[in-house]
Structure 1
């Protein structure tokens, strides 16, 4: 049985007035993006069973708005400090710790880690158009959906089929 990995870049955040990147919050547009992605998830066949979230404010807020749209179906977000500006390797390590009972995993993190991780995981069986879109630009609220046919603990590189890349922006 295949699993689903959802890799989401947090929604649009404002600038920090105190040079504290960790505490940046979502803009009004970012809140709308997060709600839109939550509605997309609710209408998709891939409601997350586990949500892993960077502990930064903007990723936590993105998770809250998504959970609001998912309602009773939303899992409790698991915050992880290692995901804050985490590299592809760090993000993959966090994913590797996911219980095998979870069939759908949502990861909410930051650029460039989300893009680097997704490029690293993309296998030859991936949707070519989705891979090109994902590689070209990953806007806030962008989400990559992967089909994974191996245990979370063994996910490493070129071993997940990218099936879709969607964004919260119109026309994408």
Structure 2
């Protein structure tokens, strides 16, 4: 069995219309969300053997703030292919992981992360967590999947169970959508 964590970058700033998408930083709500989720990820208790991330500024800031808040620095493996990647590309990145770490945390973007959940977790009507992802996989959301595989190279559709899902607003309602 392998464990896959998916952590979507926190809320980014759209204030500079000249900024490239890749270069957008986090906004104030995003910084708060990254910090609270960093503490939650630490407290959830999975020991991540490898962290893979898009190098986009909003992902880098999300990891930096999450690690700072959790008091647990991590080595990040930056992979440009994760930036705005499709679920197919994300699965390929996972299949290529050598030395078969038991638990990988991937930090990236939607719709790729959300679609990866839909590809890996069967829609059999029994997962309320999968239903929640269908509703929305918001910024700074954290999901954990257990995969029925022995090697990352064996990753295939419908091989996982979604066992954990937390959104920033679950921990602090002020970090939810503004109405």
TM-score for both structures, normalised by structure 1:
0.90
Does residue 1:168 correspond to 2:168, yes or no? yes
- 1:119 maps to which residue? 118
Deviates more, 1:117-126 or 1:20-29: 117-126
Coordinate RMSD, CA, aligned: 1.9
Distance 1:124 1:115, change over 3 A: closer
Given that residues 100 and 152 in structure 2 are in contact (C-alpha distance below 8 angstroms), is that contact kept between their aligned partners in structure 1? no
Instruction: Name the SS of the counterpart of 2:169 in structure 1.
Output: coil
Contact 1:134 1:144 in 2 (8 A): no
The number of residue pairs the alignment matches comes to: 170
Gap change, CA 1:98 and 1:166, over 3 Å in 2: same
> Where do 5+ consecutive residues of structure 1 fail to align?
none
CA contact (8 A) 1:98 1:153 kept: yes
**Corresponding residue of 1:33:** 33
Distance 1:103 1:141 in 2: 23
Secondary structure, aligned partner of 2:78? strand
CA distance, structure 2, for counterparts of residue 117 and residue 86 of structure 1: 10
Matches within 5 A, 1:1-172: 2-15=1-14, 16-72=16-72, 74-123=73-122, 128-150=127-149, 151-170=151-170
The 8 Å contact of residues 50 and 105 in structure 1, kept in 2 or not, is answered as yes
Distance change >3 Å, CA 101–CA 126, structure 1 → 2:
farther
In structure 1, C-alpha distance between the alignment counterparts of 2:35 and 2:136, rounded to whole Å: 21
